[in-house]
A and B are shown apart, each in its own frame.
Chain A
Amino acid sequence: MKHIAIGILGAAAFGLMASAASAATLDDVKAKGFIQCGVSTGLAGFSAPDDKGDWQGIDADFCRAVAAAVFGDGTKVKFTPLSAKERFTALQSGEIDILSRNTTWTINRDTALGLNFIGVTYFDGQGFMINAKKLPGVNSALQLSGAAVCVQSGTTTELNLADYFKSNKMEYNPVVFEKLEEVNAAYDAGRCDVYTTDQSGLYGIRLTLGSPADHVVLPEIISKEPLGPAVRQGDDQWYHIVKWTYFALLQAEELGITKANIDEMKASDNPEIKRVLGEEADTKIGTDLGVSNDWVVNIVKAVGNYGEMFERNVGSGSPLKIARGINALWTKGGLQYAPPIR
């Protein structure tokens, strides 16, 4: 029912929003003193509350990075957990300032939904997970004809699933839930044979199941799922701040700037590092963006660089142990690439 409530609130918000004066998001954010960040209802590694109730994960940390750029303080973020269905309405209606919720970048969302994706914080692809104990002998997604498949509604996953089975002339039985927890519970209870979502998600979900060792992720990746944060259309300044926060995280990793060495790096002689960290004389890079000139310093101090963020949340420093793969920097054979900060 909650998504209806948000739908109605959203509809009402469109109606009651002040139409003439469309205040800039940056001014709004500064006035209220924090960033309202839309996250998932709990996906390990991306955005999930820890045992103290603090949100952890790449998506949550990204919002902290933006808060650090704007306020110089990464803690000035409030999180709104959203289901897949609620997320776009929440952003459109202004309930949240950034949607950072393992959301796939598609043309439809960039155009008809009135969103602007700022980049890809995690390159993902859709996969399948099965219970190998109950289904021995199944080692390819092409053997899944006739299976009952658990999937979250209102996602690109749901659409890819239909396309994949159709193009391979296989039958399946969709078992669709609105909330991630409901899908997890149904899969764990054996309501369906197969769980499908982004592969990173499957690894995270596997950890939460009754006996994780029984479940295997099948090798097939059936889609491109570039996950990234999005903002509303029509506010270029805010769009740029969020986008360049992402690039700053990448640039920091490329230049070897980490949370640990940031203070030494500020004294560096390397002109590029000096420029990025706002140490160049009379620099206007930060102020032109609408933030302070030491914005990159603040970002790195708050969450580290992109690599640190990755390893801490989904990589070797986390229970998920996902390899960098295509999410490595372009200098290391991956796809993560930032335009120059100059």
Chain B
Amino acid sequence: MASQEILREEPSRGSFINDPKVRGIFFQAVVIIVLVALVWWIVQNTIDNLTRLRIASGFGFLRGRAGFDISDSAIAYSSDSTYGRAIVVGFINTLIVAAAGIVTATFIGFILGIGRLSHNWLIRKICMVYVEVFRNIPPLLVIFFWYSGVLSVLPPPRESINLPFGSFLNQRGFYFLRPIWGEGSWLILVALLLGIAMAWFVARKAHQRQMATGQQFPVFWTSTALIIGLPLLAYALSGFPLSFDYPKQSTFNLTGGFQVKPEFLSLYLALSFYTAAFIAEIVRAGIMGVSKGQTEAAGALGLRPGSILRLVVIPQAMRIVIPPLTSQYLNLTKNSSLAIAIGYPDLTATTGTVLNQTGQAIECVLIMMVVYLALSLLTSAIMNVVNARMALVER
């Protein structure tokens, strides 16, 4: 450090213009002024042009009656709702498909990534073929593959495939029974939460005991018993308040029950399977980034292969995996806008419809851009927190 300071050249005292510090500030100021002026000019020009072309502008249109229906809606929505609500419905649909896709893609991706490093030749090759196929196909084609290739060749509603537990599969989607929660069912929820809390507590205690004494405790089975057993007990105690709504055949479709539409299914499956290929490679890179000595040392200590992976390799691999994983999550979220090709009402689709019904192109595109930006920044922020917790703590 000290040597560098000595080496640094003293600023010449001659001219003010030649002072690198002043010059730096000057050029930065110029760039900022030019940028602000450019943005200001574009905004002004846009406003001028819209006025001249007599196109209505502003966000007031969001309060207008939408007048169109949306097939999938997580919140109450009808054609009497506002345009603003239609956009929110689309946003929630984007969130649902992105969240579901991220979870599934991570799961499949980890299995594949580990599988690619398997000692078993067949597993290794199958995983390799999967990765090479899916990551070299554009995501839109994967979506079409699921939509046109898989789901639309299913039988029509009148010839639905019967599945166990009163569920059906046909080209209109997957139908299964919907639970109807009767009186006193809040007790079940409380029991479930209690079970989870207790399982967490048990796991913590068991870990402490193992650290202190080396004795192990069957955490998995205890937790399972707590999380499943307690709600079951509550269910019996509150007098079996649960009933089911079964899907039934009607004139056109199956009615009742819970329907997962093929548009959602194909988008969800396509995004999961597509992104999983990339995640698999990231996981493989992460695992290979952990030095071989770690595995050998753990093996020398007598750990079994499963434990080596879980306790030694994966925690270290995660440090390498998480930053690129964040990019994949962002990609998945943004790829969900391809939903428009198969008619899943995500943010892009509903906002696009609003755009066309109202003609408010600039406002609608702006809303979409801001929402996707916010969503991506939020995902990054969450992943940064996870990353910070996983990062190597240097002493």
Contact = CB atoms under 8 A, between A and B. Distances in A.
Contacts of B148: 185, 189
B370 interface: no
B252 A85 contact: no
A177 interface: yes
Given A153-B356, A154-B356, A158-B353, A19 B45 contact: yes
B395 interface: no
B331 interface: no
Q: In terms of DSSP, what is the predominant structure of the interface of chain B? A: helix
B361 A89 contact: yes
A233 to B, nearest CB: 5
Contact of A4 (B45, B251, B348): B348
B298 interface: no
Interface stretch (A10-18, A29-37, A291-299, A333-341): A10-18
A174 B54 contact: no
A148 B365 contact: no
Interface string B250-270: 111101000000110000000
B171 A190 contact: yes
B231 interface: no
B361 to A, nearest CB: 5
B71 interface: yes
Interface stretch (B17-25, B62-70, B114-122, B124-132): B62-70
Interface in B354-368: 355-359, 361-362, 364-366, 368
Given A148-B172, A233-B53, A233-B54, A159 B67 contact: yes
A113 B359 contact: yes
Contact of B69 (A10, A109, A174): A174
Given A153-B356, A178-B349, A146 B53 contact: no
Contact of B353 (A11, A15, A114, A154): A154
Interface residues of A, number: 58
A274 to B, nearest CB: 39
Interface string B320-343: 000000000000000001101111
Interface in A197-214: none
Contact of A17 (B49, B55, B171, B341): B49
B356 to A, nearest CB: 3
A92 B359 contact: yes
Given A4-B348, A15-B42, A191-B262, A148 B359 contact: no
A268 interface: no
Nearest to A176: B343
A189 B67 contact: no
Contact of A146 (B79, B250, B352, B359): B250
Given A4-B368, A8-B365, A16-B45, A178 B352 contact: yes
Contacts of A161: 69
Shortest 3 CB-CB distances between A and B: which pairs? A154-B356, A113-B359, A114-B55
Given A16-B42, A85-B355, 17 more contacts: A1-B337, A1-B338, A14-B362, A15-B46, A19-B49, A84-B356, A109-B359, A111-B56, A112-B55, A114-B56, A146-B253, A153-B68, A153-B343, A163-B67, A178-B343, A186-B343, A191-B172
Interface of B: 42-43, 45-46, 48-50, 52-56, 61, 67-71, 78-79, 148, 152, 156, 171-172, 250-253, 255, 262-263, 337-338, 340-343, 345, 348-349, 352-353, 355-359, 361-362, 364-366, 368
